[in-house]
Chains A and B, each alone.
Chain A
Amino acid sequence: MAKDIINSNQFGILLLFLILGSAFIFVPEGIAGRDCWAASLIASLTGLYIISLTVNLQNRFPGLSIIEISTQVLGKPLGLALSLIYSWVVFLVGTLYMYDMLVLMVIIFPGLAETLLVILLIAASSYVLYRGINSLARLGEILLWIIIPLVLAAITVPFFTVANLQSLTPILASFKPVLAGVVFGSNWPYGEISLMAMLLPFVADLSKNKKTIYIWFFIGVIILVIRSLLVVAALGQELMGIVRFPLYEVLLLIRFSTFQRIELFFFIMWSITNFMAIILSHQSFVLCLKSLFSLKDYKTVIIPAGLCIAIFTLVMFPSDIEFMSVESFAAPFHNLPVHVLYPTLVWLAARFKAQSLSPGLSPGKQA
């Protein structure tokens, strides 16, 4: 059991990896044009809302997952139905992370076999999950020392070499694109933080050190806002709107004397953060299955769940053209309501139930 306990700092680091792994190389709020940095900043409020809600809920029901809490406070039929929808969205997010990794890898290594890559990624992810959540958290702590210098280099070097800050003006000239950017950014990456709710029961010092989680979250937000500023300053809003991986394109522009392909130095950063996001979504999906079906041990379903994520990634997103025109536009309207409403409903039900039971006595204290 001891190997399945983590602390708030480790949880915060994993949260940072989820934020960076899912969105650092992209600009999900790109529809906001030159004001995408503002959209990213406003959209981060959704992430803050989800974290505060799930942390608060977890403190009331220590040791229980959000799915178990929902069946307790909403009743079994409604709780299970909503949890099933939430688990589906967790699975979908896992396939989206896998697809993003696949597209990036194929762009950098065009001859790579997609089938082999997804299976290899899932095999590696399954190995990490078999080691336990504590090992995953320790892996995050170790990899952080590799990632932080690379992230700092990725956002500072282009600022002094290829950025043109005049591209950022006029600031907030039109609110409609910003609003659209906020909706897209609220879903990806900030709404997807709801995945981390499944890992919260494993945080031992949540009530004492929850502030650490918010600090790591704000570090993630700052990095993404600077990333958005940098991409607009270096590429301009028109080019940013048409390229698949905006930050990758920015790094392609860097030239130092005779040095070329500098972007490949950052390949390790993308592969590590994306891979960590895949592991975290895989872990969350496995924990969803455990809670939904009251399984004895989540490790039994690690390989089958991973296999499903791998195969369904290939089935669901057969072409990038279809993905960019349909799935990427539809996903916020499919996923965002679940990311926001599911924890909200569970939190509200828990609050009403606590009030109706006994004023001042929380369910956590009763247990």
Chain B
Amino acid sequence: MLYLVITMVITFAILEIKKIREERSWKDLLVALFLILAAFLYSIEIHFNLSFLPNPNRILFFVKPAGDAFMKLLGLS
């Protein structure tokens, strides 16, 4: 898992870093690094079977009661 992520990051560096330096688009680099960091941290979690980061799917669990209530209302639960 980690090796694949690292391969993708190296590909990104080869394709983009020179262009970013020439165009001085530091904001683009900052956004890209933030996304890479998020992907890297979560891939560490998967690779080592850890659970130290919040799972974004919790947001879907918050709205599940609305789904349940809708199904109950229609008598389909």
Contact B46 A303 (CB under 8 A): no
Contact A303 B8 (CB under 8 A): yes
Bound CA–CA A331/B8 (angstroms): 30
Query: In the complex, which residues 294-336 of chain A have their Cβ closer than 8 Å to any Cβ of chain B?
Result: 294-297, 299-301, 303-308, 310-312, 314-317, 326-327, 329-334
**Taking A307-B39, A333-B63 as contacts, is the C-beta distance between A315 and B45 under 8 angstroms?**
yes
**Taking A31-B76, A304-B36, A315-B56 as contacts, is the C-beta distance between A333 and B31 under 8 angstroms?**
no
Bound CA–CA A176/B70 (angstroms): 11
- Name the residue of chain A whose CB is nearest to the CB of B35: A304
- Tell me how far the C-beta of B54 lies from the nearest C-beta in chain A, rounded to whole angstroms: 10
Contact A300 B16 (CB under 8 A): yes
- Name the residue of chain A whose CB is nearest to the CB of B12: A303
- Name the residue of chain A whose CB is nearest to the CB of B60: A330
- Which residue of the partner chain, among B5, B29, B63, contacts A307 with CB atoms under 8 Å? B5
Query: In the complex, which residues 11-28 of chain B have their Cβ closer than 8 Å to any Cβ of chain A?
Result: 11-12, 15-16, 19-20, 23, 25, 27-28
- Which residue of the partner chain, among A295, A307, A315, A331, contacts B27 with CB atoms under 8 Å? A295
- Name the residue of chain B whose CB is nearest to the CB of A314: B46
- Which residue of the partner chain, among A130, A177, A299, contacts B74 with CB atoms under 8 Å? A177
Contact A330 B55 (CB under 8 A): no
Instruction: Give chain A residues whose Cβ lies under 8 Å from the Cβ of B1.
Output: 115
Instruction: Give chain B residues whose Cβ lies under 8 Å from the Cβ of A183.
Output: 70
Contact A297 B25 (CB under 8 A): yes
- Which residue of the partner chain, among B32, B57, B70, contacts A304 with CB atoms under 8 Å? B32
- Name the residue of chain B whose CB is nearest to the CB of A305: B35
A179 adjacent to chain B (CB < 8 Å): yes
Query: In the complex, which residues 102-126 of chain A have their Cβ closer than 8 Å to any Cβ of chain B?
Result: 115-116, 119, 122-123
Annotate B23-55 by CB proximity to A: 1 below 8 A, 0 otherwise. Answer: 101011101110110110011011000000001
A180 adjacent to chain B (CB < 8 Å): yes
Instruction: Give chain A residues whose Cβ lies under 8 Å from the Cβ of B66.
Output: 330, 333
Contact A307 B57 (CB under 8 A): no
- Tell me how far the C-beta of A32 lies from the nearest C-beta in chain B, rounded to whole angstroms: 10
- Tell me how far the C-beta of A297 lies from the nearest C-beta in chain B, rounded to whole angstroms: 7
- Name the residue of chain B whose CB is nearest to the CB of A299: B16
- Which residue of the partner chain, among B38, B59, B74, contacts A334 with CB atoms under 8 Å? B59
**Taking A116-B4, A330-B61 as contacts, is the C-beta distance between A307 and B56 under 8 angstroms?**
no
Annotate A148-192 by CB proximity to B: 1 below 8 A, 0 otherwise. Answer: 000000000000000000000000000011011001000000000
A289 adjacent to chain B (CB < 8 Å): yes
Instruction: Give chain A residues whose Cβ lies under 8 Å from the Cβ of B67.
Output: 329-330, 332-333
- Name the residue of chain B whose CB is nearest to the CB of A31: B76
- Which residue of the partner chain, among A294, A305, A311, A332, contacts B42 with CB atoms under 8 Å? A311
Contact B27 A293 (CB under 8 A): yes
**Taking A300-B28, A300-B29 as contacts, is the C-beta distance between A326 and B74 under 8 angstroms?**
no
Bound CA–CA A331/B63 (angstroms): 8
- Which residue of the partner chain, among A177, A312, A315, A330, contacts B76 with CB atoms under 8 Å? A177
Bound CA–CA A306/B46 (angstroms): 17
Contact B35 A334 (CB under 8 A): no
Contacts A300-B29, A304-B33, A311-B43 given; 7 further ones with Cβ under 8 A?
A300-B25, A304-B36, A308-B39, A315-B42, A315-B57, A329-B71, A334-B63
| A-B pairs with beta carbons under 8 Å apart, 15 shown | A115-B4, A177-B76, A180-B76, A289-B31, A289-B35, A293-B27, A296-B23, A300-B20, A301-B31, A308-B35, A311-B5, A311-B39, A311-B46, A332-B67, A333-B70
Give the 6 A-B residue pairs with the shortest CB-CB distance, closest first: A304-B35, A300-B28, A316-B57, A307-B39, A303-B12, A330-B60
